[in-house]
Structure 1
């Protein structure tokens, strides 16, 4: 999605940046992991296919993707951005006739960063961005049944169970952004700052 191609979102512990070609080799390494393939219900791709996928995510109007960076590492200009990568977060507009409905996916790919509350921070930031910038009012999340940590996270954020598919081994959770949820997201946005990504990259060099 072009709307976020120059957007940087700064949180307390992490920074969200648009997924660009510099990130692809590291992302490809992650997705070679059988564990991550199972958790994300993904098929392994060649490096060339991964570059094609990155272009697709950048251009398609129904996908909005950010790469999650370790804010502390990223603050050090000597550390290449690719070495700050922690995972990714995506919004998919699943209904071409209703852009207020979106599916959200979060992946903390680096094992050392799991269990530190980053998933919650990332998800809150992405929900807030989707509501305020994309006009999303209904969210869904499809999570593998064995991914109990992610299921618990989304439930804490106000998502309720919509359905369970034993065939696909996943649970679908959802949340409508009513007045109370919208106010909460706006309050949570106080810890998030939006910056010009190009200027931020230039300042690191």
Structure 2
């Protein structure tokens, strides 16, 4: 998978570091995209991570914290010659990340791929990870949200990507892939170590509002 780079974004809290090192030790191409004030940079660099350090966005909100780190990580991966990116979180652990990457490769090399969707009154993409061609990823994670824009994170990203408001789930599924069933079939499991949500595939995604 020499055409694919994992871009890992987020804060570098003390309890994230050893799981990151252990989880990605057999992944050759990996970038940490984080803020310039974060600790443990040298520890991760010494373990083979390429480090991208970013300035905080001018308007600090949840959307922009994620957008900036993902965008800058994707731009670095592109400059290094990669064609595809799998964006992961610094607090996301996977029971077999190499197997995970392999079993979704046929999806993200064609379209942006997410875990699945949440359907309530509105719908959301489940963005624990997002994978796809770099140029497509940069269409999603590009422009920073303005202060007067009150759209929630996933709504903002999808409407910017589609250049259309009031998207339906059917419209989104025409352009994005979901990989929940693939992960279930391959016994892939994930957890968010900063949250007490339990197993993502085996528990969180069992809710009746989760769609594949």
Q: What's the TM-score once normalised by structure 1's chain length?
A: 0.27
Which structure features the higher share of strand residues?
A: 1
Q: What's the TM-score once normalised by structure 2's chain length?
A: 0.27
